Amino acid sequence: MSHPQHEALKQFSHQINFALQNYTPHGVKAADIKQIIIAGLGGSGIGGRLASSFFVQSATVPIACISDYTLPGYAGPDTLVILSSYSGNTEETLSVYEDAVKRGCKLLALTSGGKLKQLCEQSGVKTYTLQPGFQPRMALGFSLTYLLQILGEMFGREVHAELAAVATAVADTAHFEEDAMQVFNSVKAKARSKFVVITDASYEAVGIRFCQQIQENAKHECFNHVVPEMNHNVIESYYGQLDTVYFFIHANAHDRVASRFEFLQNLLEVENNKVVNIITDGFSIKEVYEVIYTLDWLSLYVADQRRVDSLNVPNIASLKNFLDQV
């Protein structure tokens, strides 16, 4: 019998197509605002970090991503706040909604329902509806695809064709399952070792996403570091053979950064540390979606190897119950 998480992940192409088919223009112009804030947590929040990474060089206003209860002090009527909560009941995001309304911010929302959808309907906030029935961490195809279109409309970048091509590419799930299994087979002997993900700046959000999936699906420690910053501190902990698997994710786009990864690999491998290289041909929408999809499958294979329940999240559920009582 197929695992529910595996079946959910096979819907990735469907999620992209759903967001493409249901997108409608929001009409907010970059000239009318001074900044954008994307608010969300966990599987709902990572879409904002991923989407904003594509517009670092082209955005005419700054984009900030927050995962908290309140907006930064500069937020006001000239701020567009995009709220992302798959369930519509994430308490931090609902708190940001209230804060944004008080400050007179412009608002957009992405949700499948819950209290957030109800509030947005009552106040006339344009809402992009996500199909219900998924766990937030398995619903990234919806939020990321919507967010790329939202930002693309604002900054004059046409993304529909690229996203449609991605939807077609990832429909061949077997190809990505095979690629993920190949990586898994190279690390399964150390599936109980700590995982460390090292990325370049472009792929930082992809690294964070992989860590989140390993943490939630495989119930396993996984941490993300970014080159060149980690070369100024974290590298000093790399002495001897460590009980760690290192994943390098980068575009090989900057000569000096590429040299740093080369040095790191030599430093680690000379002490027989395990390094997995995931080097892409560049930083494009297609590359990012495909790397994410492969690594999502890898997280499920690690979960299966560790014989843990990738579907349920008891610690998170316990925390929510605790917070409901305080």
CA max distance for the chain = 61
Q: Of the residues 153, 177, 204, 216, which is catalytic?
A: 216
Mean pLDDT, range 33-53, rounded to an integer: 97
Dihedral Cα 267, 273, 278, 281, nearest 10 deg:
20
Whole-model pTM: value is 0.96
pLDDT at 35 over 60: yes
Summarize pLDDT for 50-97 with one digit per residue, the tens.
999 999 889 999 999 999 999 999 999 999 999 999 999 999 999 999
Distance CA 312, CA 300 (A): 13
pLDDT of amino acid 1:
47
Residue 239's identity, in one-letter code, is: Y
Could you confirm whether 232 is annotated as catalytic?
A: yes
Q: Residue 276 in contact with residue 245, Cβ under 8 Å?
A: yes
Crossing angle, helix 173-187 and helix 285-306, to 10 degrees? Answer: 50
Average per-residue pLDDT for the chain: 96
Could you confirm whether 188 is annotated as catalytic?
A: no
pLDDT of amino acid 281:
86
How is residue 54 written in tokens? 């594509």
Summarize pLDDT for 96-125 with one digit per residue, the tens.
999 999 999 999 999 999 999 999 999 999
pLDDT of amino acid 279:
84
What's the pLDDT band for 2 if we cut at 50, 70, 90?
Answer: low
Residue 70: CB partners within 8 Å, gap ≥ 6?
95, 96, 99
What's the pLDDT band for 253 if we cut at 50, 70, 90?
Answer: confident
Mean pLDDT, range 142-151, rounded to an integer: 98
pLDDT of amino acid 318:
96
Could you confirm whether 160 is annotated as catalytic?
A: no
